[in-house]
Amino acid sequence: MKKIQLSRIIRKDENLAMINEMCNSLGCQIFITEDNEEIFKYNCMDNTNLQKLEVENCLPNVQIWGDGKSTTVVRLLDFLIGNAKDIKSILTDVINKYKELSIFYTLGEKIAACSDVRHIARITYDEVLKFIDATDMMLILKGENSDKVDTVINLPCEKNKPIIDPNSKLLNEVMAGMEAQIFNGLEQSNKLEEYKIKSKCLMCVPIVIKNVAEGIAIIGHREKNMYTSEDLKIFNAAIFQLILGVENAKLYNILEDTFLQTVSALSETIEKRDPYTGGHTHRVMNYALAIGIEMELSRTELVSLRLAALMHDIGKIGIEDKILRKEGALTEEEYELMKVHPKLGADILNNMKYLSTIVKGVISHHEKYDGTGYPNKLKGEEIHSIGRILAVADSFDAMISDRPYRKGLKVEKALAELNKHSGTQFDPKVIDAFNRAYQKGYIQV
């Protein structure tokens, strides 16, 4: 806390007016110096013929001289100094609280945007450093349902020697106690050798989720040797935010994984009914992705494309065996019945909110660029881009695959066929991309 300056107190308009008024009505003489410089005088030139006066709330560099009538003024100054001290200590506390608050606002926002534990740990460390002195931070997490250390994150740099052995007994004790602890003056203690500690002080906060200690967060300083309870409070609260972020990230990843696994499982159902379709689906997916990358689609678009490719023939699950697994070519009637599968696929997918975005791609994978396709006779750009890409990938695979009733075309012939129908059946831009992808060797047959 910076020292109080009487000159500043006196300089304030309201205070100066009050002091002058009082001096005036008392008719006194008073002379004040601070750091040996004159800061106020009334009715005199200097301190000659004046007594040195003592102030209760004395400030070390202040000297006051006055006559007999000036004692009341001294009492006023005393009061003002006392006030200033109180206000200053309140303000110091408020400023600290503001700093803490702003750390947590920022921390909360930054962590919320993150789904990677290492990244969250780094963000937390950076923010905490604004308020706490530290040279290292570690985040140690135990594995799911196990007591063994699973993850160790070492900040600021993974390559640095950790300030404490992740498996040390000290940490296990803190985790068992489930309470945050400070360890100060470690230089003097024998713990340094025992636990391979490299810092002079440490703060440890166990990571407790649903009453189970799942890990521990540690922060330390290799030179400084003391942390205060204020420091611990901040670190504790920052780790709380970190835990929320990590839990969130974990749940999000589980959700994403489950979603993708569900989609995979769904696409396997059609494979069980019709093995030809199964292999076909995966090949179409690879061709479609090669095209998509060539067309420079964004990551999100590529993810949708991949899902659409995996799902594009799911509708075939609603086609009877005698048509779906017929050995020969389909009759006109049978073909008409088969043509329903894009719509069936869309119906199935519409059940899942998160797949409804790819419905348009799936339902239109048999549309033709010139409007002569099915089910809706969409034309050109009316067909969703995913549908236009799938059309090419799908047809290509159909052409090169062997059927019971005919052999597959050679790749070059299939390519020629695709090019022949560019602009009519297929979107020329997609055909171009396919050609380029093939030339670059990305079309693995």
Partner 1 sequence: MAKILIVDDEPHIRLLLEEILEDFEEKGVEVHTAKNGKEAVEKILELKPDLVYLDIMMPEINGYDVCKIIKIDHKMNDVKIVMLTAKGQAVDKQKGVNSGVDMYITKPFDPDFIIKNTENLLGISLE
List residues near partner 1 by CB under 8 A: 2, 8, 87-88, 91-92, 94-95, 98-99, 101-103, 105-106, 130
Q: Which two tokens stand for residue 380?
A: 């050109």
What's at 271, amino acid-wise?
A: E
Strands (E), 272-361: none
Instruction: Tell me how far apart the alpha carbons of residues 234 and 231 are, in angstroms, rounded to a whole number.
Output: 5
Mapped to the 3 state alphabet, what secondary structure does 59-96 carry? CCCEEEEECHHHHHHHHHHHHHHHHHHHHHHHHHHHHH
Which residue shows structure tokens 């050798």?
193
- 94 vs 178, which CB is nearer to partner 1? 94
In whole angstroms, how close is the CB of 221 to partner 1 at the nearest point?
20
Mapped to the 3 state alphabet, what secondary structure does 350-412 carry? CCCHHHHHHHHHHHCCCCCCCCCCCCCCCCHHHCCHHHHHHHHHHHHHHHHCCECCECCCCHH
In whole angstroms, how close is the CB of 132 to partner 1 at the nearest point?
13
Q: Which two tokens stand for residue 266?
A: 């769904």
- 98 vs 354, which CB is nearer to partner 1? 98
Instruction: Tell me how far apart the alpha carbons of residues 235 and 347 are, in angstroms, rounded to a whole number.
Output: 52
Give me the helix-helix angle, 299-311 and 275-294, nearest 10°. Answer: 160
In whole angstroms, how close is the CB of 103 to partner 1 at the nearest point?
8
- 37 vs 144, which CB is nearer to partner 1? 37
- 130 vs 169, which CB is nearer to partner 1? 130
CB atoms < 10 A from the CB of 127, how many? 23
- 99 vs 377, which CB is nearer to partner 1? 99
Instruction: Tell me how far apart the alpha carbons of residues 372 and 250 are, in angstroms, rounded to a whole number.
Output: 48
In whole angstroms, how close is the CB of 82 to partner 1 at the nearest point?
16
With beta carbons less than 8 A apart as the criterion, state whether 23 and 73 touch.
yes
Q: Judging by beta carbons within 10 Å of its beta carbon (0-12, 13-18, 19+), is residue 296 exposed, middle or buried? A: exposed
- 79 vs 105, which CB is nearer to partner 1? 105
Instruction: Tell me how far apart the alpha carbons of residues 337 and 320 are, in angstroms, rounded to a whole number.
Output: 9
Residue 138 belongs to what H/E stretch?
strand 136-142
- 88 vs 196, which CB is nearer to partner 1? 88
In whole angstroms, how close is the CB of 292 to partner 1 at the nearest point?
38
With beta carbons less than 8 A apart as the criterion, state whether 15 and 22 touch.
no
In whole angstroms, how close is the CB of 393 to partner 1 at the nearest point?
46
In whole angstroms, how close is the CB of 400 to partner 1 at the nearest point?
57
In whole angstroms, how close is the CB of 4 to partner 1 at the nearest point?
11
- 82 vs 371, which CB is nearer to partner 1? 82
Instruction: Tell me how far apart the alpha carbons of residues 197 and 170 are, in angstroms, rounded to a whole number.
Output: 10
Which residue shows structure tokens 């990230």?
249
What's at 311, amino acid-wise?
A: M
In whole angstroms, how close is the CB of 98 to partner 1 at the nearest point?
5
In whole angstroms, how close is the CB of 246 to partner 1 at the nearest point?
25
- 5 vs 357, which CB is nearer to partner 1? 5
- 3 vs 299, which CB is nearer to partner 1? 3
What's at 190, amino acid-wise?
A: N
